[in-house]
Structure 1
Amino acid sequence: MTNKILLTGFDAFGGASLNPSWLAVKSLHGRRMLGHQVVAAQLPTVFDASLKELNALLKQHRPALVVCVGQAGGRKAISLERVAINVNDAPIADNAGGQPVDTPVKAGAPTAYFTSLPIKAMLVALQAEGVAAEVSQTAGTFVCNHVFFGLMHTLATRRELKHTRGGFIHVPWLPEQGAPNMPLDEIVRGLRLAVRCALAVEQDSALGAGATN
């Protein structure tokens, strides 16, 4: 394990020309947080190919912390995802034209994985700084959940990554994409706060666990 933080975002999909998840993590590339260096990478919005790229990044960097970030149109807050499920059920085609229906992310793997990030402590940290944030109970069944589940399965099954913690965050649209939305600089500020909290807090405390919404 190294002193790196891996942040990933996605390329644009569904006919859009941009994706705030990639724009936000790209702006944090190269920064140092609590003695760790941020490495940002873009994943394709494609089933299977996204996980192949993510696993290559994990092998290359062996990060201490991984936060995958995706876009969630219709949400008005930064969403800290609690659980990934072992289901692909695409409402639209991915960027390669794939549209799986009711297939497993990983055959024979558990039904679900919980995040290993301290999402309640992260929620408190974000809200204390005035950033709109929430704990989300669903990451959907599109490529975001596919990557989230694949990440957690890899962290659970690869010995060299057993001390790496990871999870997933959804961010709203940008103003130019529609409403509800959040400005890019606010998304970046929220991600920076969330990552710093995840580095500083190994697991949720009683204080953090009581902060629901």
Structure 2
Amino acid sequence: MATKKKVIVTGFEPFGEHTVNASWVAVQELERLGLGEAIDLHVCEVPVEYEAVQSLLPSLWKQHQPQLVVHVGVSGLATTVTLEQCGHNQGYQQMDNCGFNPASQCCMENGPNYLDSVLDMDVICRKVNDSGLGVVVSVSKDAGRYLCDYTYYTSLYLTQGRSAFIHVPPLGKPYSSQDLARALQTIVLEMSELLNQAEEQQNPHDH
């Protein structure tokens, strides 16, 4: 009997004009749906604060040792569910919910300019769009230089790339929280499956 894979999925608290944050609403809805028998899903709401991200992510990673960490954030500009390929280290000028921003305006002093996910988002995007889900998925390489991008970079750094970031549009523009949760479920299962395949190729006798 294979041990259950653990997957962490996070959403963000409200900020700015997003008095209800679609990302956390969708993640809570995903928790109700679950990720099937083989995956142990753990969800968490992330504060829109740079310093909170710096302390929360390492403790989540240490506590759960997950196969994968998926962060979900809302983007007022998004009209599709958007898979982010990479996180950026520099350019964090915007103030967070505490009115704070990093003095260095970067995520990790002397860290690489950007970090890539080990997951190929183009492959995942194609698979999900071919699945007839009724929710359009696209790929982006710019997570926006705010808490979303900051969280993603921090997470990619901690997990050696075993992270993903998904931007969702605000609720009703055009998708409901149920639509978004179904999309997240399909996407996260694809991501986990890709990691399983990669692990099997590395350890063919490990069954």
Identity across matched positions, percent: 27
Uncovered stretches (5+) of structure 1, i.e. residues with no partner: 157-163, 206-213
1:50 aligned onto 2:53:
yes
| Partner residue of 2:5 out of 3, 21, 25 | 3
- Tell me what 2:167 maps to: 170
User: Cα–Cα, structure 1 residues 101 and 183, in superposed 2: closer, same or farther, change >3 Å?
Assistant: farther
Q: 1:2, 1:62 within 8 Å by CA — same for their partners in 2? A: no
Secondary structure of 2:195's aligned partner: coil
* 1:72-98 Cα deviation digits (max 9, x unpaired): 11210000001111014234x211111
Q: Deviations over 1:113-167 (max 9, x none)?
A: 01122312221222122321100110010000000000011113xxxxxxx8211
Deviations 1:11-42 (A, max 9, x none): 00014321011111122227243611110000
Question: For the residues of structure 1 that align with 2:197 and 2:169, how far apart are their CA atoms?
Answer: 25
Which has the larger displacement, 38-47 or 108-117?
A: 108-117
CA contact (8 A) 1:120 1:204 kept: no
Q: Choose which of 95, 104, 107 in structure 2 pairs with 1:105.
A: 107
Runs of 4+ displaced beyond 6 Å: none
Partner residue in 1 for 2:120: 118
Whichever residue aligns with residue 111 of structure 1, its letter is: N
Is the Cα contact below 8 Å between 2:83 and 2:125 reproduced in 1? Answer: yes
Check conservation: 1:11, 1:45, Cα contact below 8 A. Answer: yes
Alignment: residue pair count: 193
Match of 1:209 in 2: none
Match of 1:189 among 159, 182, 188: 182
Cα distance, 1:53–1:137 mapped onto 2, change above 3 Å = same
Could you tell me how far apart the structure 2 residues matched to 1:66 and 1:172 are?
20
- 1:2-41 superposed matches below 5 A: 3-29=5-31, 31-33=34-36, 35-41=38-44
Report the Cα distance in structure 2 between the residues aligned to 1:66 and 1:100, rounded to whole angstroms. 24
SS of the equivalent of 2:182 reads helix
Q: Secondary structure at the match of 1:48?
A: helix
Residue aligned with 1:150, SS: helix
- The answer on whether the counterparts of 1:118 and 1:204 sit within 8 Å (CA) in structure 2 is no
User: RMSD value over aligned CA atoms?
Assistant: 2.3
**TM-score, normalised with respect to structure 2:** 0.85
Unaligned runs of 5+ in 2: 199-207
Preserved CA contact (<8 Å) 1:113 1:152: yes
Mean CA deviation greater in 27-36 or 141-150? 27-36
